[in-house]
Copies of this chain bind each other. A is one copy, B any other.
Amino acid sequence: MITDRLSKESLSRDGSTLKEAARYLKNPGIISIGGGLPTSEYFPFDELSIKVPSIGHFSEQQTHENGQVITAGKHDLVDGSSLFDITTAFNYGQGAGAPQLLRFVVEHTELIHHPPYADWHCTLSVGSTSALDMAFRMFCERGDYLMTEEYTFSSALDAARQMGLSLVGLDVDEQGIIPSSLDHLLSTWDAKVRGGRKPFLLYTVPSGQNPTGATQSLRRRKDLYKLAQRHDLYILEDEPYYFLQMAPYDHSSSAPSTPLQPSTRESFLSSLVPSLLSLDIDGRVMRLDSFSKVIAPGTRIGWVTASAQIADRYAKHADVSTQCPSGISQLVLYKLLDEHWGHAGYLDWLMHLRTEYTRRRDCILGACDDFLPTDVISWIVPAAGMFLWMRVDWERHPRAEEMSISELEERIFQAAVAKGTLVMKGSFFEAEPQKMDQSNGAKGQGMFFRATYAAAPSDMIREAVRRLGLALREEFALADQDVHVPNGSHVNGNGHGEPKA
């Protein structure tokens, strides 16, 4: 039973006392002078409007010039002009979220994942980072181990460590967690040696993983799910980049090209690798979705999907902590997604995003092909997400014998900064940094850097990669690049770019 593994904290969540009384509100004619829900008469807002893209005209320019203005009024619900309004959205709400937006999210989840058991529920979150914080508290006690990819989302690592969890990193390849690594870990777990009971909770980012960019194939997901069944695990499936799954990269062309895209909503949906949720016949997956990467991070709205009993405990924790996501955000998303775009329009938007991110990915990959010295750096083509994971062959560094791997990593990071490019050190994302410290530069130990193609404009991405290439050539004392650089402006750093002595 999954519920046998709930934390003491979660087991004691019997919900919010006052909601017990709320059921009497259904009595006909009853007047409540009970609940402290303030009257909307004193909300200083009469209307909220947003100017948003029309379906199929999604670019920033098109939205600015021909976007549609949609408006929520204060009393639209009573007026009958909408199912959601300022009076409702701007007041206190349920921990699970407003029924209006929640319904859209449930329909969307059904449409995308068809969860294969009956009593799955969705509950809004105030973002997946908060959902993780709450999920860790739901399934773990201090001192418990949490399993993750050996490199993963650093806020998840920070949150887990700070609440007293130990982390154990699983070996990964370009398809993410290697099942035999998981099986071996669990089959040989020695609670005494480890100082903690056999792990129960697996945190994974199956698509476009942060930072490795790995995407689990369907085969890989099925294998992992089988292992979860065998070892009775619970899986937190964190999927912010799920809809940023991309077309294959055409290596032959270094220029950014218009990528191959699914032409219909149906082909788009069938192109997506099925989620762990869609394989979850036992109710052992909590899926975390987020609007951060597909609408805007500032909405601070996501949702979790899990079995009714788990989703209910999540909502009960929300009731006495985050309460519910911002009602203003909920109203904005409802007006855009449900009333304006609908499910079909939202799928079109997601397809648009996918095209845009594919173009960006192809841009950075083209730049890597053009500018990076492949004798000391390699990378895997991301099939999803926002991140490019680059492996540096540090053993070829002239000072590899005398410096530790962490010192060398910092040195290369600083060399890139000096050339005017900021990338992230792989060690920021390590589940078990002590492991690297102990092996301290053993042969075969990887050194990584993470780059993103989500933020900077395309021409800046190329320039950043060019600078990284310069830094690496200098650091590794390689010959200057003599290839022709298409579209590359030969900016010579910014005064920080002097070669090291």
Residues of A within 8 A of B (CB): 8-9, 12-18, 20-21, 24-25, 27-53, 58, 60, 63-64, 67, 69, 74, 89-93, 126-127, 129-130, 133, 142, 154-155, 157-159, 161-164, 210, 292-293, 295-301, 317, 319-332, 336, 349, 353, 356, 364, 386-387, 417, 420-425, 428, 450-457, 460-461, 463-465, 467, 493-496
A303 to B129, CA, bound (A): 20
Q: Which residue of B lies closest to A8 (CB)?
A: B164
Question: Can you show 24 pairs from A to B with CB atoms below 8 A apart?
Answer: A12-B161, A13-B162, A18-B154, A24-B417, A25-B422, A27-B422, A30-B417, A31-B422, A33-B456, A33-B461, A36-B455, A37-B297, A39-B457, A45-B51, A46-B52, A47-B69, A48-B48, A48-B51, A126-B322, A129-B322, A155-B319, A299-B328, A300-B324, A326-B326
With contacts A320-B133, A454-B38 known, is A327 near B298, CB below 8 A?
yes
Known A45-B51, A58-B44, A422-B21; contact A36-B329, beta-carbon cutoff 8 A: no
What chain B residues lie within 8 Å of A159 (beta carbons)? Answer: 320-321
The CA-CA distance from A417 to B300 in the complex, in Å, is: 39
Residue in B329, B353, B455 whose beta carbon sits within 8 Å of that of A35 in the complex: B455
Does the CB pair A38–B422 fall under 8 Å?
no
Q: Which residue of B lies closest to A98 (CB)?
A: B298
In the complex where A126-B126, A163-B9, A320-B155 touch, is A31 in contact with B327 (Cβ < 8 A)? no
A31-B464, A158-B17, A421-B33 known; A42 and B300 CB under 8 Å?
Answer: no
The one of B24, B133, B328, B461 that contacts A332, using a Cβ cutoff of 8 Å: B328
CB distance from A82 to the nearest CB of B (A): 16
Given A33-B451, A36-B455, 10 more A-B residue pairs with CB atoms under 8 Å apart are A9-B162, A13-B162, A18-B428, A25-B422, A32-B464, A33-B364, A35-B452, A36-B454, A91-B297, A326-B329
Which residues from B are CB-within-8-Å of A329? 326, 328-329
Q: Which of B17, B32, B51, B320 makes the CB contact (< 8 A) with A129?
A: B320
Which residues from chain B contact A129 at a C-beta distance below 8 Å? 320-323
Closest-by-CB residue of B relative to A131 is: B321
Chain B residues positioned under 8 Å from A450 (CB to CB) = 34
Q: Is the CB of A420 within 8 A of B30?
A: yes
User: Are B31 and A44 in contact, with the CB atoms below 8 A?
Assistant: no
Interchain nearest-CB distance for A319 vs B (Å): 7
Return chain B residues, CB-CB under 8 Å to A12: 161-162, 164
Closest chain-B Cβ to A477's Cβ sits at a distance in Å of 24
Q: Are B323 and A300 in contact (CB under 8 A)?
A: yes
Q: How far is the CA of A295 from the CA of B45 in the complex (A)?
A: 9
Q: Measured between C-beta atoms, what is the minimum distance from A213 to chain B in Å?
A: 11
Out of B74, B324, B423, name the residue touching A64 (CB < 8 Å): B74
Chain B residues closer than 8 Å to A33, beta-carbon distance: 364, 421-423, 451-453, 455-456, 461, 464-465
A34 B451 Cβ-Cβ under 8 A? yes
Inter-chain contact A44/B336, CB cutoff 8 Å:
yes
Residue of B nearest to A10 (CB): B162
Given A41-B60, A326-B325, the answer on whether A31 and B463 have CB atoms closer than 8 Å is yes
B46 and A63 form a contact (CB under 8 A): yes
B452 touches A43 (CB 8 A): no
Q: Among the listed B18, B322, B451, B454, which residue makes an inter-chain contact with A39, where contact means beta carbons less than 8 Å apart?
A: B454
**Closest residue on chain B to residue A15 by CB atoms:** B158
Residues of B within 8 A of A14 (CB): 162
Tell me which of B32, B324, B349, B455 contacts A44 (CB under 8 A). B349
Q: Which residues of B contact A45 (CB under 8 A)?
A: 50-52, 63, 296, 332
Q: Hey, which chain B residues are within 8 Å of A298, CB to CB?
A: 89-93, 326-328, 330-331
Taking a contact as CB atoms under 8 Å apart, the answer to whether B38 and A386 are in contact is yes
Measured CB to CB, the closest approach of chain B to A373, in angstroms, equals 17
Q: A18-B424, A51-B45, A356-B42 are known contacts. Are A387 and B299 too (CB-CB below 8 A)?
A: no
Q: Are A299 and B422 closer than 8 Å at their CB atoms?
A: no
B353 in contact with A327 (CB, 8 Å): no
| Chain B residues near A336 (CB-CB < 8 A) | 44
Interfacial chain B residues near A25, Cβ < 8 Å: 422
Residues of chain B within 8 A (CB-CB) of A43 are 295-296
Do B32 and A158 have beta carbons less than 8 Å apart? no
Residues of B within 8 A of A422 (CB): 21, 24-25, 27, 30-35
Query: Assuming the A-B contacts A34-B451, A157-B17, A423-B33, are A52 and B44 also in contact, with contact meaning beta carbons closer than 8 angstroms in the complex?
Result: yes
